[in-house]
Structure 1
Amino acid sequence: MKITAIRDVVAPIKSQIANAYIDFSLMTASVVAIETDLVRDGRRVVGFGFNSNGRYAPQGLLRERFIPRVLEAAPDAYQGEDGFIDPEKAWGLMMKNEKPGGHGERSVAVGVLDMALWDALAKAHGVPLWRLLAERYNGGRADETAWVYAAGGYYYPGKGLDDLKDEMRSYLDRGYSTVKMKVGLVPLEEDLARIEAALHVLGGDGAKLCVDVNGRFTLEEAIRFGHAIAPYGLRWYEEPLDPLDYLEHAALATLYAPTLATGENLFSHQDARNLIRHGGLRPDRDILQFDPALSYGLVEYLRTLDVLAAHGWSRRRCVPHGGHQFALNIAVGLGLGGNESYPDVFAPFGGFADGTPVSDSRIAMPDVPGIGFEAKSALWAVMRPLAEG
């Protein structure tokens, strides 16, 4: 199985929505196709990948460093003993001559290609990625369904409380029982009114609502907000502080007893280890949101899971950020705690395969080889031209 070509494009994911830190009016994503010489069921095997939302398209890094390193390598440098692509060996090629540390945008570029490599490998074996992962890394056990929650509640020009209620109600109508909303951009009193509006739709059950600050607060602001929302009994309080300030996280954890969630902006197993060592998080309640698409891909995510296990953390505490099919396959195949879902935003990259029902915030995986992009028509419309060259 040889790689014959790698093609990439930049696709917009423009939106007028905003969280507490950024707006998404200029957001982009890189999409890649890795073409191979292997033909299965009459079709050439092509793997696809893209970067998760919140980081811009890393096209320069892809074209200048990471794609050439793969294309210039001899096939046996990225092949396993069985002759198929070995994503771990390909990962080593991509990271050749890269210094340790600095896990910024390069982790996104490598993650894009890693996703495509795993898609190609699962297609080469004729199985869904979740099944391949279960067989290789989880003793053959895959979850029958994955827990998913609807992420939304963004700030939008002119969006009032009634609009927020209608949005949350629409998620319930589509089978979600747990939802998430953004907070932290407006004064505390306004956000509390927004939270109470969402809770009204949820029947007052705080365990069905998560809130996300996107790292905007100072420690003092995070403590004040935490004291204000603690009586609601929310499912979790997400990324209240700068993601790399572990000492502040540890301080907040001593004062906020309910569940905290963080990790989506940490991009390596070393960063994950530092969070676990120094962030004061509690393995019996807190949630880790590392996004494999942003953090050097699944090869690195497997290392992160090993780090967590060595420090007494269960995989069930991991609920990846991103709301994409790659992380969903990983959650099902490796037995994670669930996955984010974007029913309405970040099209066409957010959301899952067409016609896949959600029931009580749980979703079953379709039996589609690879990651399953071909079963999501809007996303396949972006990817298909790359497959055709």
Structure 2
Amino acid sequence: MKIVSIKEKPVKISSSIRNAYIDFSKMDVSVVAIETDVQRDGQPVIGYGFNSNGRYAQSGIIHKRMIPRIMQAQPADYLTADGTNLDPFKLWKIMMTNEKPGGHGERSVAVGTIDMAIWDAVAKIEEKPLYRLLSERYGDGHPDDRVFVYAAGGYYQPGKDDTLLQQELKGYLDQGYSVVKMKIGNGLDEDRRRIEAALKVVPSGKHLAVDANGRLDLKTALEYAKMLAPYDLFWFEEAGDPLDFKLQHELSQHYAGTMATGENLFSMQDARNLIRYGGMRPQTDYLQFDCALSYGLVEYMKTLKMLRENGWSSRRCIPHGGHQMSLNIAAGLKLGGNESYPGIFEPFGGFADNLPIEDGYVRLPQVPGIGFETKAALMKVLREVAQS
């Protein structure tokens, strides 16, 4: 077998929403389609991937470096020993050929996007849902049959007052979510008012998470910590710059509640530095590394191994991104859950069309691959890229 073609196209996810740091009015993502010469049901197996929101399309890196390296390789260089399937680990090494360590930046997003498509193809060739394949190969063989998911929203938006925020969050609860998240970081007084408005419609503080998106300096982060403490929130997310481990460590000395961070760390080494120097607590805090932004599942498994060696359970990982790839990883490798963006960043966010959220959990579709085929609007976009 062999890879026949790899196609990439940037697709817009434009939106009027913003967090405390960026707006999404000109945001796009890369969509990748990897076609193989393997046939299933009379059609070639095609693996699909895309990067998570918050990082732009990586067309330049993908077309200039990643695709040529794979297409110039011999099939024996990237197939399993028996030649019947793609080997994601070999393909990862091919993509990273002649790349210096460190300086991860946008390169990690390009690799992560292609890596997602590779795993989708691998599971389709095996004719198994990806989460089951991961559990059998790298887990205990008994995957979770449902995954905790929380609804990420509460963005700043023109004309959005406290009443509209309340309606949005209540809408998520009505959809079956048990935990909702809102953005903070624009200003202490404004956010105190918004949080108190939100707490009027959620059952308790433990059902509300807040996310500053790295906006705060140390002084302001500590002021927010003091303000947030009485609410007993689900978590306080990414207070300061993601690489300011000293700030995160200092915050942990003053905020006894649960914290979360890591979505903007893009390698196992960065994750390890967070564990070493960031003051994150393995019994109470959560890590949000997103495989689609951080060199893919191959690198994510290195990160999980490092976490185990440092006393962290995989259950303390709840990835950023709200996509089906992380949902499969969560079920197959027993993470603590997954983010969800109901009605936001469509069609990339969300899960199978016919599987509802129930009591804060969602089940996975029983189809080969990641499950993209169970999202009609998403598949329309993915097929357009494959056929371009």
One fold, TM greater than 0.5?
A: yes
* Partner of residue 17, structure 2: 17
* Partner of residue 220, structure 2: 221
The structural deviation recorded for 1:347 is: 0.8
1:370 aligns with 2:374: no
State the secondary structure of the residue aligned to 2:206: helix
State the secondary structure of the residue aligned to 1:231: helix
* Partner of residue 102, structure 1: 103
* Partner of residue 116, structure 2: 115
* Partner of residue 387, structure 1: 386
State the secondary structure of the residue aligned to 2:45: strand
Structure-to-structure mapping, 1:242-253, within 5 angstroms: 242-253=241-252
The structural deviation recorded for 1:387 is: 3.0
Distance 2:309 2:158 in 1: 46
The structural deviation recorded for 1:235 is: 0.5
Which amino acid is the alignment partner of residue 87 of structure 1?
P
Which amino acid is the alignment partner of residue 143 of structure 1?
D
The structural deviation recorded for 1:385 is: 2.1
* Partner of residue 329, structure 1: 328
State the secondary structure of the residue aligned to 1:257: coil
Distance 2:128 2:161 in 1: 45
* Partner of residue 351, structure 1: 350
Which amino acid is the alignment partner of residue 224 of structure 2?
F
Which amino acid is the alignment partner of residue 197 of structure 1?
A
**CA shift digits 1:269-325 (9 cap, x unpaired):** 000000001111100000000000000000000000011001000000000000001
Which amino acid is the alignment partner of residue 172 of structure 1?
L
Distance 1:139 1:259 in 2: 28
Which amino acid is the alignment partner of residue 236 of structure 2?
Y
* Partner of residue 202, structure 1: 202
The structural deviation recorded for 1:388 is: 3.2
Which amino acid is the alignment partner of residue 282 of structure 1?
R
* Partner of residue 303, structure 1: 302
The structural deviation recorded for 1:341 is: 0.2
* Partner of residue 68, structure 1: 68
The structural deviation recorded for 1:380 is: 0.5
The structural deviation recorded for 1:40 is: 1.5
Structure-to-structure mapping, 1:84-233, within 5 angstroms: 84-185=85-186, 187-203=187-203, 205-233=204-232
The structural deviation recorded for 1:80 is: 1.0
Which amino acid is the alignment partner of residue 348 of structure 2?
F
Distance 1:209 1:29 in 2: 28
**CA shift digits 1:9-34 (9 cap, x unpaired):** 11000000000000000000000100
Q: Unaligned stretches of 5+ in structure 2? A: none
1:31 aligns with 2:28: no
Which amino acid is the alignment partner of residue 280 of structure 2?
L
Sequence identity percentage: 60
The structural deviation recorded for 1:247 is: 1.1
State the secondary structure of the residue aligned to 1:201: coil
The structural deviation recorded for 1:240 is: 0.2
TM-score, with length taken from structure 1: 0.99
The structural deviation recorded for 1:386 is: 2.8
**CA shift digits 1:152-182 (9 cap, x unpaired):** 0000001001000100111011101100000
Which amino acid is the alignment partner of residue 180 of structure 1?
K
Which amino acid is the alignment partner of residue 157 of structure 1?
P
How many pairs were matched up? 387
Distance 2:386 2:264 in 1: 31
State the secondary structure of the residue aligned to 1:29: strand
Which amino acid is the alignment partner of residue 51 of structure 2?
N
Distance 2:273 2:139 in 1: 25
**CA shift digits 1:236-285 (9 cap, x unpaired):** 00000110011111111011111110000000000000000111110000
State the secondary structure of the residue aligned to 2:209: strand
1:275 aligns with 2:241: no
Which amino acid is the alignment partner of residue 365 of structure 2?
P
Distance 2:154 2:247 in 1: 26
Q: Unaligned stretches of 5+ in structure 1? A: none
**CA shift digits 1:178-213 (9 cap, x unpaired):** 00000002x21110111111111013x000000000
Distance 1:129 1:261 in 2: 27
Distance 2:386 2:239 in 1: 41
Deviates more, 1:313-322 or 1:78-87: 78-87
Distance 1:153 1:342 in 2: 11
* Partner of residue 234, structure 2: 235
**CA shift digits 1:73-105 (9 cap, x unpaired):** 000110111311000000000000000000100
* Partner of residue 80, structure 1: 80
The structural deviation recorded for 1:224 is: 0.4
1:285 aligns with 2:322: no
State the secondary structure of the residue aligned to 1:358: coil
Which amino acid is the alignment partner of residue 48 of structure 1?
Y
RMSD over aligned CA atoms reads 0.7
Distance 1:82 1:118 in 2: 18
**CA shift digits 1:14-70 (9 cap, x unpaired):** 000000000000000000100000001222100000010000000000000001100
TM-score, with length taken from structure 2: 0.99
